[in-house]
Amino acid sequence: MSNPARTVADALREAPGAAGLLARCEAARTIGRVLSPVVQTIAPGIVLTVPGRCELRDGIVWIAVESAAESAKLRQATPRLLAALSAHGLEVYEIKTRVQAGGTSYPGQGMAAPSSPGDPFAPVTDQGVGAVKRAARALPDSPLRRALQRLAMTLSRHRDVPPGQAG
Report pLDDT digits (tens) over 25-35: 888 899 999 99
pTM above 0.85, yes or no: no
Q: Which residues contact 77 (CB under 8 A, 6 or more apart)?
A: 38, 39, 42
Domain assignments of the chain as residue spans, ordered by start? 13-99, 119-167
CATH fold for domain 13-99: GMP Synthetase; Chain A, domain 3 (3.30.300)
Higher pLDDT, 103 or 21: 21
Which runs of consecutive H residues, i.e. helices, occur in 43-158? 68-76, 78-87, 126-138, 143-158
pLDDT for 36 equals 94
CB 58 within 8 A of CB 92: no
